[in-house]
Amino acid sequence: MFSLRGDAHKVFLRLKKIMDHGHAVKDMKELIEIEEIQKLYRALDSSALKLIFYRMTKEKNGSGFIPILVSAVPWLMLLFSKQLSEFLFHDGSLLWLVFSFLYIFAVAASVILHFREKAWAAFHMEIIKDILNERKEQESLGHSSV
């Protein structure tokens, strides 16, 4: 089913479908993937997890190459607008249509890619934070019971 509501709603719809059919929620591929990621991160020591967390923070908060291109390319086109318009619109050519389609497609794909990468970084950061917090709580419980 096509939906413009986003991934969270799609997960909800899949969960609802799985539950309506009486299947186990744990068998959902998205949840299995999360468990695999958690298992990998739990196998690492806390100092390595902190380094990974810092790298993910850089990834999530970094301006990145894609937003710079998305904002810089229009300025470049504006700078050469006379030459560009002569090239695209000469003799009734439909080259402007091809150029426009390719440009809009490239910008849209770049923006989607950028925000998906930010979302994945945030996803991994939350898992790492949870694991580090669990370890800290276990450590404090271990010290308080002695």
d(CA 12, CA 55): 30
Q: Higher-confidence residue: 64 or 113?
A: 113
Share of the chain above pLDDT 90, in %: 29
Q: What are phi and psi of 107, to 5 degrees?
A: -65, -45
Q: In this predicted model, which residue has the larger pLDDT, 93 or 46? A: 46
- Answer for the pair 10, 3: CB distance below 8 angstroms, yes or no: yes
> Once rounded to an integer, what is the mean pLDDT over residues 133-137?
94
Give the residue with greater pLDDT, 126 vs 118.
126
- What the block records as the tokens of 52 is 């990974």
pLDDT, residue 47, reads: 95
Instruction: Determine contact, residues 24/10, Cβ cutoff 8 Å.
Output: no
pLDDT digits (tens, 9 = 90+) for 8-37: 888 888 888 888 888 888 888 888 999 999
Grade residue 1 by pLDDT with cuts at 50, 70 and 90.
low
Nearest-angstrom CA–CA distance, 8 and 92: 46
**pTM higher than the cut 0.75:** no
